[in-house]
Structure 1
Amino acid sequence: ADKALIDKLAAEFSDELNNLGVRVSNLERNADKVKWTGEARYTYTSARHEDEKNDNTDKLQFRLYPTAEVNNNWHVNARLTASTYMDKDAGKDSSDKTELTYVYADGQYGNFNVKLGKMPLYSVADDGLVVDDFFSGASVTFGKDLKATLEAGRYDLDRAQDNFHKGSNDKAANYQGAELNYGPNKLRLGASYRHFNSAEFTQAANYRNGSTSDDANIWSVGAGYKFDHNWNLFGAFAQNTEADNYDTAHNIQLSYKGSDIANKGTWGAYAAYRYLGNNTLVLPTYDTAHSHLNEKGWEVGASYVPFTNVYTAVEYFDGKDLATDRDAKTLFGRVSFFF
């Protein structure tokens, strides 16, 4: 409808527009410079820890993703997020509001990419074992088969897992990171280093023995192999060399197939073993252990696309708390509608 209207107006007023110096052939392109996509999702989580009351959440979230073209090399990407909780029929608290989750300029020049602003922070080398969140600053990536990424900026530790925000006035940590990733064929290899500096680390529980440090130095490696179109095996290890306790984490996961929201009927499944020392991980990508770290155990999950652009998933974690050896279980489910 928009294209037809533009064509009609361009044909009717082409002489006038040309006299004003407006190129009619660019009208449609300019109208399409900003594109909107989105997602409406429902998430159910039930965390069940031995000798504790079940922690259940019913969360609705609405996300909008505007993308704006600047020129042939540059785009601006953003996300607006609004949340509410069905069990409360309200936001989590009175401060809940629509949030600008991220906004950044993205420049692509051949095999060189630069991002500026508030952008996703994902540890590609370990497939999200260390962090899957956002930071403010700059990032550059270059290379073809072997890709290098350098990042620097600030990271809000209030977003991190519970052990890393204990109430100091230094919540915005200085951050620097570097990654190397190789994966042109079936074999995939990665290594990363991330440094965070904040007084919050001096207050983290069981972080150091008899001394304090305001640093986190987190190293990680990952390796994966895709056997065919269906089977994929990936493992990762991470360590915070500044911590004395719960200073390692590892994960191994076997995945089968995978769901594609554009193709109705596609599905995937996985089984994984996770060991998540909470002084090593900033905010891992796992849904069943996202809020309850310092755990180890087995996780299984499956996803399915019942209709085009409709995604469903269910996951279950069964393990132990590393500090107390008490049982820790989490049930997770999600339905997403993409548009």
Structure 2
Amino acid sequence: MKMKLAAALAATMAVGATCAFAANPFVDVPTDSWAYKSVVELADSGIIQGVDGTHFEGGRNITRYEAAEIVAKAMAHMDKASVEQRALINKLADEYADELNNLGVRVSALENKVGNVKLTGDFRLRYINQDGDKNGAGKVKDDDSWSYRLRLRANAQVNDRATVTYGWSTDNQSFGNNDAASEDDQTYTDLANVSYNIGSNWNVLAGRYNYVMGNSYGYLYGDSFDGAQLKYATDSFAATAGYGKFKRGLIGGNDYADGTENKDAAKTAYGELEGFFGNGSAAGVYYNNIMVGDNASSIGDVDVWGVYGSVNIGSKWNALANYENYAADKEFSNGDDSADMIYGKLTYGKAAFAAPKSWDLWVEYLQADNLTDTFVGSTNTWRNDNLMNNVESWGAGVDYTFAKNAQFQLMQSFASSAKDGDNDPGEETRAQFVFVF
């Protein structure tokens, strides 16, 4: 029953939350509790009342009838729920159908809401400044420092098992680039997929989706990937396998800046095993067999092994570590057929778009071998390519939610140097406003 209650609270927290700073009605929920914010928001929304109005008794097992009451109140907030939240509420409603009927709540009422289409998006205004290395790589100055990106998403819940997602993006539009014909400046469809749940644990995803391995940081390019994957997931374990083709950047088969033809997009078969722990921590291991094809700078097929761990320490701290190894058929830029990446990040706090005045601070360390830039991509990184490749570098940043759905983010690299040779990269300063809707 504890697991069902946790699922209900997770589903209703974002649905019913109205005030991040409402008064705490429960004398037995201290302000330093990991659950304090969620409990207060749920109580303020009227979704939970505690035991006697003044005590929450969070360690007590609840009855199915009490759990059904929580689900019924979550159903009343369905109009504010996301597609994923509606699907979870629907699943809980099926679980507690008998109890809900006794409460006079018709579970069939959910069916009229499931088919709704939810439109979301985000807008980013970004400033980057970076000096170049000896060869001028990485230089971002003047008008090219400013750029914007707009993304729109449409999520349609077809039924209780199937979800259709479509996404459109302007990509990064530089204020200093007036060449509208540039491939990098064209708008494009970055998401177009169908997600289908098979039973309670299996999911099939097919179409165009973001290709990201767990919480990993490394080289892998993560934008606009066409493929299909099968995933098995429980509360404590997940296994993922997939196959597809990259669609953006050099690894996606786009031509080089000098006009050199880059014939084929790289394909990959991938798999991942992950474990999840009660305090939100996670760990995973993943593998990719990347088939480069006839790229102009082909290095043959590449085998990628990676492992990551994300550990929550108390209610405020998170430590992330990631390691990747690339083994190629031919030599990389470092004259070897193997390249490694080591990454670590320590974060204090959590800036949430739904919680004004929330913030976090972080510091990171990166050490990456000289891997050909065909594989330097955007997976979970804010850095430009010469600060990801053949580099040892530190970084620090702050994220602050200054209003609901509006966040300011500041990032700075420091103590950066070339791992091999003396062609040190210039330090990068990045500041950006991000708005979600």
TM-score bracket, shorter-length normalisation: 0.7 to 0.9
Asked if 1:306 is matched to 2:402, the reply is yes
Asked if 1:203 is matched to 2:297, the reply is yes
Within the candidate set 422, 425, 435, 1:325 is matched to: 422
Secondary structure, aligned partner of 1:324: coil
Asked if 1:315 is matched to 2:401, the reply is no
Q: Supply the distance in 1 between the matched residues of 2:363 and 2:337 (Cα, whole angstroms).
A: 27
Between the aligned residues of both structures, percent identity stands at 19
**Contact 1:125/1:191 (<8 A) preserved:** no
Structure number with higher helix proportion: 2
Asked if 1:41 is matched to 2:136, the reply is no
The residue that corresponds to 1:17 in the other structure is: none
Deviations 1:159-208, CA, capped at 9 Å, x for gaps: 5499x96945532122100001112234422101011112356725xxxx
Question: Structure 2: which amino acid aligns with 1:105?
Answer: V
Secondary structure, aligned partner of 1:285: coil
Shift of 1:273: 0.5
The residue that corresponds to 2:106 in the other structure is: none
Structure number with higher strand proportion: 1
**Unpaired runs of 5+ in structure 2?**
1-78, 80-108
Where do 1:100-139 residues align within 5 Å? 100-109=189-198, 110-124=200-214, 126-127=216-217, 130-139=220-229
**Contact 2:217/2:381 (<8 A) preserved:** no
**Contact 1:113/1:142 (<8 A) preserved:** yes
Secondary structure, aligned partner of 2:249: helix
Q: Supply the distance in 2 between the matched residues of 1:311 and 1:125 (Cα, whole angstroms).
A: 21
**Contact 2:190/2:223 (<8 A) preserved:** no
Shift of 1:29: 3.5
Where do 1:163-202 residues align within 5 Å? 167=260, 169-186=262-279, 187-200=281-294
**Unpaired runs of 5+ in structure 1?**
4-24, 205-212
Q: Supply the distance in 1 between the matched residues of 2:324 and 2:362 (Cα, whole angstroms).
A: 21
Shift of 1:238: 0.5
CA distance 1:176–1:86, shift in 2 (3 Å): closer
**Contact 1:41/1:336 (<8 A) preserved:** yes
Number of residues paired by the alignment?
A: 307
The residue that corresponds to 1:16 in the other structure is: none
Q: Supply the distance in 2 between the matched residues of 1:43 and 1:214 (Cα, whole angstroms).
A: 36
Deviations 1:51-100, CA, capped at 9 Å, x for gaps: 44832331111111111121110011121112564533746645543311
Question: Structure 1: which amino acid aligns with 2:192?
Answer: V
CA distance 1:27–1:175, shift in 2 (3 Å): closer
Asked if 1:146 is matched to 2:237, the reply is yes
Where do 1:1-339 residues align within 5 Å? 29=113, 33-51=116-134, 52=136, 54-56=139-141, 57-83=145-171, 85=173, 87-88=175-176, 90=178, 93=181, 96-109=185-198, 110-124=200-214, 126-127=216-217, 130-144=220-234, 145-156=236-247, 158-160=249-251, 167=260, 169-186=262-279, 187-200=281-294, 203=297, 213-242=299-328, 243=331, 244=336, 247-279=339-371, 281-283=375-377, 284-290=379-385, 292-294=387-389, 295-318=391-414, 319-328=416-425, 329-339=427-437
Name the Cα RMSD after superposition: 3.0
Tell me the TM-score normalised to structure 2 length.
0.63
Q: Supply the distance in 2 between the matched residues of 1:322 and 1:91 (Cα, whole angstroms).
A: 35
CA distance 1:123–1:291, shift in 2 (3 Å): farther
CA distance 1:266–1:215, shift in 2 (3 Å): same
**Greater Cα offset, 329-338 or 92-101:** 92-101
CA distance 1:50–1:26, shift in 2 (3 Å): closer
